[in-house]
Amino acid sequence: MTTPSRDIPGFDGDEIWGHPDSKVAIWVNMSKAAIAAMTQLVAANKIVATPTNALVYAFDGGMLDMPIAKSIKRKYAKAHWFPLVFAGNREASR
């Protein structure tokens, strides 16, 4: 698995990508440019986000010290993490 903050120059930063109104984090320690790029790729349907088990992140050493969110749409009183994996959209490349 690729860990962008480790493997892609300019990805690392101090920002949180997620839904601040609902206190759900998708990814942390990103640069503003990385968030903009990922948001653009998702919006253009170039990559697809898929919910995953937090153990996928544990295997790669990327667990967050936050409770796991059961839903990305639910509003929480304190910050939660919604683990996702991203992959290229095969349909978009056809």
Q: Does residue 92 contact residue 46 with C-beta atoms inside 8 Å? A: yes
Q: What is the mean pLDDT of residues 68-89?
A: 92
Question: What local confidence, expressed as pLDDT, does residue 15 receive?
Answer: 94
Answer yes or no: is pLDDT of 91 > 50: yes
Residue 17's pLDDT band, with cuts at 50, 70 and 90, is very high
Q: How is residue 31 written in tokens?
A: 């640069």
pTM over 0.75: yes
Which residue, 15, 68, 64, 62, is CA-closest to 37? 15
Answer yes or no: is pLDDT of 39 > 90: yes
Q: How far is CA 38 from CA 28, 55, 61, 64, 84, in A?
A: 13, 22, 21, 19, 13
Question: What local confidence, expressed as pLDDT, does residue 7 receive?
Answer: 76
Average pLDDT, whole number, for the chain?
A: 88
Answer yes or no: is pLDDT of 34 > 80: yes
Single-letter amino acid code for the residue at 74: R
Which residue, 50, 74, 77, 78, is CA-closest to 64? 78
